Structure 1
């Protein structure tokens, strides 16, 4: 996008276009005064932000916790090479504000699950657009929008596929209504960040590391800024200009190279990520990092302890145990040595092949170490091979189309179209360069379905409003759930497993139960977050405690809500 071309953008022309398009002058006022929350400023988010501003929206709030990496630059057009390492939301705001000075964009560099965003925060927006690539975060946004009774536009893209889904919980099918498969045909990887959330992210990171060390490094590789660790570069460091080696033996060169790689990517980088855990709600496990003495012992022993034949037998066994972290470090070093020798013989870049025993073992070991650091359950080499063959890239063209559709749907909604009369949009891959017939389209509209009867988000929401500093857990249970809702609660717990009420605990652990009963909601810090409530009849509810100073205790059941 050319900055000069848009440096004097005139919003009056934009509003004239909107008024002409929707044959209504009211749409202009809606656009001018509607506050929009955009969560996620990645591939789709950049496109959405640009479209919102150039559609005339003035008040936009951005929420994103990520920083810009080199791999973002080929598809997230708001970012430049000089922005690498900076916060996405901050850079996006600065660049858009430069293009459109009349826009009023605010930024939050926070986890969307943070208590910095209470329910009242969401209620101020005319609509929420979710452009996240994290399943758990999307579930959370879906739920909090249901409690806040705010329209949600859910977006996503995977390769050539994408979707836009307008959601009004209780009136339309929500993100929670349709169970998401645990394992899809493809695994979409938009960014390899410092905070992986699944074993697939760890495996993809390990494959990228393979290319950094031994393969042909591309700019789209998230680790491309670590090119000084390419084996070809390291080999030059250990060689004089006349070709003589700085080290006395080939084995010494291998050991020094392995030690440097492991120290960088599996010790120093993990320690750095550990230092960042204060920026996110999810914490790292205790790092199982070897000492330098252990590392040197691994370097000396792995050649006699492991063989290619043994690793090949393991990869063919679907029931093999997941490697321990210690074994993963040993196999990692063994594979590094084998790959170094292979590279030295060929003197050319190596290509990752999931059917090659050493390549697969390297990725399995590297992903196991990384998964352990983030408290993620790792996979054995049999499973890793299946996952590694299903990686597909994110595409900027898909993001652009999805960004266009979601803003158009938002404009239709603000112009007076009911959410139920909008449509889901599915973007599908077309194998030919262009449609063969006029009626062949790549964007498929779908009627919005009603809520699923079993969906707890659409049918079983309890909004609790109280002065969290004064209301105790016992008052919440007795005066709220039992008296106001005629319930017999069995248990109440947070999503992280903290039990604030258990009817059986009153008898089994009376001292602890009394301590919690007498504690206020604020003292337990369970306000402004979802709660799971189970009553004696076996019915599950989802609750949310909203702090409000002037309300003693009030609980309301949230039913279907319509368009304003």
Structure 2
């Protein structure tokens, strides 16, 4: 570890030694930020984070090692920083910043607050606390190759909530239920299906065909068409999906036939939907099973990482059956009236969504996806990139130095649709970049 010696003005150097700063978040940006702060000369730092360390953090959150898995991010970050800068005074809180203990008076203890958060609720809370305490806040965030840094000061700048933030994209119910055209539509449908079968039912997340689809203009009194669609199961589609599933004992084959044969045949009776679209093709369990052996890639364990393999229909049927049986066993173990909560990190739940979504993609003539791709979309996962975090952490410290130098008017908002590395150079002057090389320290 080396520290590049720079030419900080004595007044600024003294300020860094005496001022107290708060870092909210000790994850991807937080680890880089803590390192930059202590090696720049900040001596009094408090850091707060609610999370514990997961294996998936280790590829970019360099203050953590495998032996730290399961421990507090804030506490381990403190211990790691003290190993290469033992003179710094760090206080770590394994807690939520939204805890009432961290009130306005708590925030008034600091000259500067730096956000390294990953959720909007906490960002909103810190924004309001800093406005109430009249403390400068440096807000930041990354999304893959994109990133932003914004300085917020009461009476001088917009606050975090002044501009509306984009909401998560939603899809019309009739598209999800009747006419999916993209893999994400099938993945959303599969998540709805999980809740309908194993979790908390929601009328807004129905998965059966939508006969009220205005585009279909289908006549619900056409009983002959309904009979053709499903000779024996006409009433199944009109009752609770969970009640029907329970009545079958969560029989995987019966579930398969309802979801991927009967419901699809039911959709085909809405012929107006298919005048300009390719019609779906129902799947029959026995036909899939009778078609012989699975393709060689579905038998080979050495054809790449398991999560990155794209299974064929035979493999998806197996995965569907196995996941249904596993989830049924979990419900039975939990007792009468139990409900499961979908979690992208729960293997049986993820297997179920992967299988159901891909089977529906196949039916609607889409290219199927690997488990890895389905997990990314189902969990709304945005890739976290170490270099983006490092650039953003450096910019945070640059803006912090300006604030502590009394140069709030020279602070900039770095935010654009271009990758943050490009933003970094387009927003920084040569003087700024030289200052960063001098003042920000790096691991060597």
Distance 1:443 1:357, change over 3 A: farther
Distance 1:155 1:353, change over 3 A: farther
Structure-1 residue corresponding to 2:141: 156
Which is strand-richer, 1 or 2? 1
The structure 2 residue matched to 1:62, chosen from 47, 58, 63, is 47
Distance 1:344 1:358, change over 3 A: closer
TM-score normalised by the chain length of structure 2? 0.56
- The separation in 2 between residues aligned to 1:441 and 1:119, in whole angstroms, is 34
Distance 1:372 1:389, change over 3 A: closer
TM-fit CA distance, 1:296: 9.8
TM-fit CA distance, 1:420: 3.4
* Partner SS, residue 297 of structure 1: coil
Distance 1:65 1:355, change over 3 A: farther
Check conservation: 2:415, 2:423, Cα contact below 8 A: no
**Gapped runs of 5+ residues in structure 1?**
7-12, 186-199, 208-261, 268-289, 318-333, 374-378, 435-439, 447-564
Distance 1:147 1:353, change over 3 A: farther
The structure 2 residue matched to 1:393, chosen from 383, 386, 400, is 383
- The 5-angstrom pairing of residues 515-530 of structure 1 reads none
TM-fit CA distance, 1:302: 3.8
TM-score normalised by the chain length of structure 1? 0.45
**Gapped runs of 5+ residues in structure 2?**
171-183, 200-241, 271-284, 301-305, 328-338, 345-352, 362-372, 429-444
More contact order relative to length (CA 8 Å, sep ≥ 6)? 2
User: Does structure 1 residue 423 correspond to structure 2 residue 412?
Assistant: yes
Check conservation: 1:131, 1:155, Cα contact below 8 A: yes
The structure 2 residue matched to 1:306, chosen from 255, 258, 270, is 258
* Partner SS, residue 393 of structure 1: coil
* Partner SS, residue 370 of structure 1: coil
User: Does structure 1 residue 126 correspond to structure 2 residue 89?
Assistant: no
Check conservation: 1:172, 1:420, Cα contact below 8 A: no
- The separation in 1 between residues aligned to 2:88 and 2:266, in whole angstroms, is 58
TM-fit CA distance, 1:134: 0.3
- The separation in 2 between residues aligned to 1:31 and 1:160, in whole angstroms, is 31
Distance 1:353 1:51, change over 3 A: same
TM-fit CA distance, 1:422: 0.8
Structure-2 residue corresponding to 1:297: 249
* Partner SS, residue 36 of structure 2: helix
- The separation in 1 between residues aligned to 2:46 and 2:62, in whole angstroms, is 19
Distance 1:356 1:130, change over 3 A: farther
Check conservation: 1:427, 1:443, Cα contact below 8 A: no
Which is helix-richer, 1 or 2? 2
- The separation in 2 between residues aligned to 1:157 and 1:420, in whole angstroms, is 24
- Alignment deviations for residues 410-430 of structure 1 (CA, whole Å, 9 cap, x no partner): 01111120x233111136546
Check conservation: 2:414, 2:424, Cα contact below 8 A: no
- The separation in 2 between residues aligned to 1:56 and 1:133, in whole angstroms, is 26
User: Does structure 1 residue 28 correspond to structure 2 residue 13?
Assistant: yes
- The separation in 1 between residues aligned to 2:295 and 2:249, in whole angstroms, is 24
- The separation in 2 between residues aligned to 1:315 and 1:104, in whole angstroms, is 66
The structure 2 residue matched to 1:83, chosen from 68, 82, 88, is 68
Distance 1:425 1:392, change over 3 A: same
Say how many residue pairs are matched. 298
- Alignment deviations for residues 159-182 of structure 1 (CA, whole Å, 9 cap, x no partner): 000000000133201110110010
- The separation in 1 between residues aligned to 2:10 and 2:254, in whole angstroms, is 74
TM-fit CA distance, 1:116: 1.9
- The separation in 2 between residues aligned to 1:315 and 1:52, in whole angstroms, is 60
- The separation in 1 between residues aligned to 2:342 and 2:93, in whole angstroms, is 28
* Partner SS, residue 413 of structure 2: strand
- The separation in 1 between residues aligned to 2:118 and 2:74, in whole angstroms, is 16
Check conservation: 2:151, 2:413, Cα contact below 8 A: yes
Structure-1 residue corresponding to 2:395: 405
Distance 1:119 1:45, change over 3 A: same
Give the root-mean-square deviation of aligned CA atoms: 4.8
